[in-house]
């Protein structure tokens, strides 16, 4: 269901007040939620589980979850708290999975983006998914390489269920990640 909303007038010379910024954020989140729901509904049960667990495998570095390489691989998505549905999907995927509180630590990952056509009219069952993973700018070169290897192994994992995605890692404020340009 599409809801029409009044345009938000922006005056960048005056700046954006908190109320306007909140409205912009809320509108973005609503559109994103609708897009997520639409993409999710077009997938099989197994494919939905893969998509549901994907943020969690980057948020945690758990040996029972797909993509685990070693204990030194960067992990932790900033401001991410896995919902119960994601934890349940992870438990169905890996029976030995259990969430452990690691206390407060600085997350290595700033954002995870699902890019491309999912949730749009242009999406089809043959479409692949593009995942953009934004890591901290001060992440060590070794950490970046480990994260790239994890992303590569996670790109192979869902193929058994007919889901194809490409995961690209990059630091913030660099624009489009290397290799993301489609030919």
pLDDT tens sequence across 35-92: 778 777 777 888 888 888 999 999 998 999 998 998 899 999 998 999 999 999 999 8
Contact 94, 49 (CB under 8 A): no
Q: Could you give the CA distance from residue 86 to residue 84 in angstroms, rounded to a whole number?
A: 5
3-class state of residue 7 by DSSP: coil
Contact 135, 147 (CB under 8 A): yes
pLDDT of the residue at 42: 76
Q: List Cβ neighbours of 24 (8 Å cut-off, separation of 6 or more).
A: 8, 16
Nearest to 74 by CA among 131, 172, 146, 141: 146
In the numeric block, which tokens belong to residue 179? 């290799």
Nearest to 129 by CA among 59, 58, 33, 47: 47
**CA angle, 29 as apex, 126 and 134 as ends, to 5°?**
70
Q: Residue ranges of the domains in the chain?
A: 18-170
pLDDT of the residue at 183: 38
pLDDT of the residue at 4: 65
Which pLDDT tens digit goes with each residue over 118-174?
A: 545 555 555 677 888 999 999 999 999 999 999 999 888 888 888 888 888 888 766
Alpha helices in the chain (DSSP H): 18-41, 45-59, 84-93, 141-156
pLDDT of the residue at 91: 92
Q: Could you give the CA distance from residue 67 to residue 149 in angstroms, rounded to a whole number?
A: 9
22-28: which pairs have CB atoms within 8 A and are 24 or more residues apart?
A: none
Q: What's the distance, CA 159 to chain centroid?
A: 18
For residue 29, is pLDDT > 90? no
For residue 100, is pLDDT > 70? yes
Say how many C-beta atoms besides its own lie within 10 A of residue 62's C-beta: 19
DSSP 117: S
């Amino acid at each position: 269901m599409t809801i029409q909303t009044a345009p938000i007038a922006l005056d960048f010379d005056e700046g954006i007040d908190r109320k306007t910024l909140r409205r912009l954020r809320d509108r973005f989140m609503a559109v994103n939620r609708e897009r997520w729901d639409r993409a999710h509904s077009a997938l099989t049960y197994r494919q939905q589980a893969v998509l549901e667990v994907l943020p969690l495998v980057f948020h945690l570095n758990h040996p029972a979850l797909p993509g685990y390489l070693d204990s030194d691989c960067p992990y932790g998505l900033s401001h991410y708290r896995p919902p119960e549905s994601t934890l349940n999907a992870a438990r169905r995927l890996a029976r030995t999975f259990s969430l452990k509180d690691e206390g407060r630590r600085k997350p290595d990952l700033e954002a995870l983006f699902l890019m491309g056509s999912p949730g749009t009219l242009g999406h089809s069952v043959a479409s692949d998914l593009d995942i953009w993973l934004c890591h901290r700018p001060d992440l060590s070169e070794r950490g970046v390489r480990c994260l790239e290897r994890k992303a590569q192994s996670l790109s192979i994992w869902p193929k058994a269920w007919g889901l194809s995605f490409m995961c690209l890692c990059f630091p913030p404020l660099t624009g489009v990640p290397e290799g993301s340009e489609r030919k």
